[in-house]
């Protein structure tokens, strides 16, 4: 089963390498890893999506916690949380196909962020299923390039993954 981990780490050089190295060394598979600084510039949040049973998850969590630069690890899978991913898709768009592509984008509340005589870039955010659905619909036109950010997530409501004080 897929798990989403929210991991707060020190915003220091080498921390990403330590986390990535840990996953490869111990044979854990990462689906996606997104990292960026938090409201506190000394701290970064990594959102890691991984596949594995509870045993794997327990080991991953413990090994992550063991890293000195890891401040907090939370499994958001069972939590009420908002999960988003951003994707940009460059599709082949001859002038006659443009309106159909724009309609699809519209249905998915996506935006056209670039147009050239033969291509369009569509930007969309959403959860994985939505992005996968849009991608499969756009395939018929020909996808030239695609970039996904990987998932980021936050728990809903008052609760927060930042109990480092």
Partner 1 sequence: MAKKVSGAEAFIECLYKENVEVIFGIPGGSLLPIHDELYDSSIRHILVRHEQCAAHMADGYARATGRTGVCMATSGPGATNLVTGIANAYMDSVPMVAFTGQVPTSMIGNDAFQEADITGITLPITKINYLIKDANDLPRTIKEAFYIASTGRPGPVLVDIPKDVQTAEIEFEYPKTFELRGYKPTIEGHPLQIKRAIKAIMDAERPIVYAGGGVIISNASEELRALAELALAPVTTTLLGKGAFPESHPLSLGMVGMHGTKYANYAMTETDLIIAVGARFDDRVTGKLDAFAPNAKVIHIDIDPAEISKSVSVSIPIVGDAKSVLKELIKGLIGASRTEWLKKIEEWKKEFPLRYDRSGKTLKPQFIIEQIHEVCPDAIITTEVGQCQMWAAQYFKYTKPRSFISSGGLGTMGYGFPAAIGAKVGCPDKTVIDIAGDGSFQMTCQELATAVLNDIPVTVAILNNGFLGMVRQWQELFYDKRYAATYLGTSPDFTKLAEAYGALGIEVVKPSEVKSAIEEAVTSDKPAVIDFKIDPEENVLPMVPAGAAINEIIDYEG
By the criterion CB under 8 A, which residues form the site for partner 1? 9-10, 13-14, 17-18, 21-22, 25, 55, 58-59, 62-63, 65-71, 164
- The whole-angstrom separation of Cα 81 and Cα 157 is 9
Q: Which CB atom, from 41 or from 117, has the smaller least distance to partner 1?
A: 41
**Which residue intervals of the chain are DSSP H helices?**
15-25, 54-66, 98-107, 128-138
Q: In whole angstroms, give the CA distance from residue 46 to residue 8.
A: 6
Q: Please state the closest distance from residue 21 (CB atom) to partner 1, in A.
A: 5
Between 43 and 133, name the residue whose CB sits nearer to partner 1: 43
Query: Which of 34, 73 has the CB closer to partner 1?
Result: 73
Least spacing, CB of residue 75 vs partner 1, in Å = 15
């Amino acid at each position: 089963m897929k798990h989403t981990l929210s991991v707060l780490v020190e915003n220091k050089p080498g921390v990403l390498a330590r986390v990535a190295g840990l996953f490869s060394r111990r044979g854990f598979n990462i689906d996606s890893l997104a990292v960026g600084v938090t409201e506190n510039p000394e701290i970064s949040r990594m959102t890691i999506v991984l596949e594995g049973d509870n045993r794997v998850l327990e080991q991953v969590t413990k090994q992550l916690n063991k890293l000195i630069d890891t401040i907090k690890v939370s499994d958001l899978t069972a939590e009420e949380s908002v999960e988003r991913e951003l994707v940009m898709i460059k599709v082949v768009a001859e002038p006659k196909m443009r309106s159909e592509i724009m309609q699809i984008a519209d249905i998915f509340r996506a935006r056209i962020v670039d147009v050239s005589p033969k291509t369009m870039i569509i930007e969309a955010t959403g959860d994985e299923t939505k992005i996968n659905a849009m991608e499969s619909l756009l395939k018929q036109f020909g996808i030239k390039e695609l970039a996904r950010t990987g998932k980021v997530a936050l728990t809903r409501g008052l609760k927060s993954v930042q109990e480092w004080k």
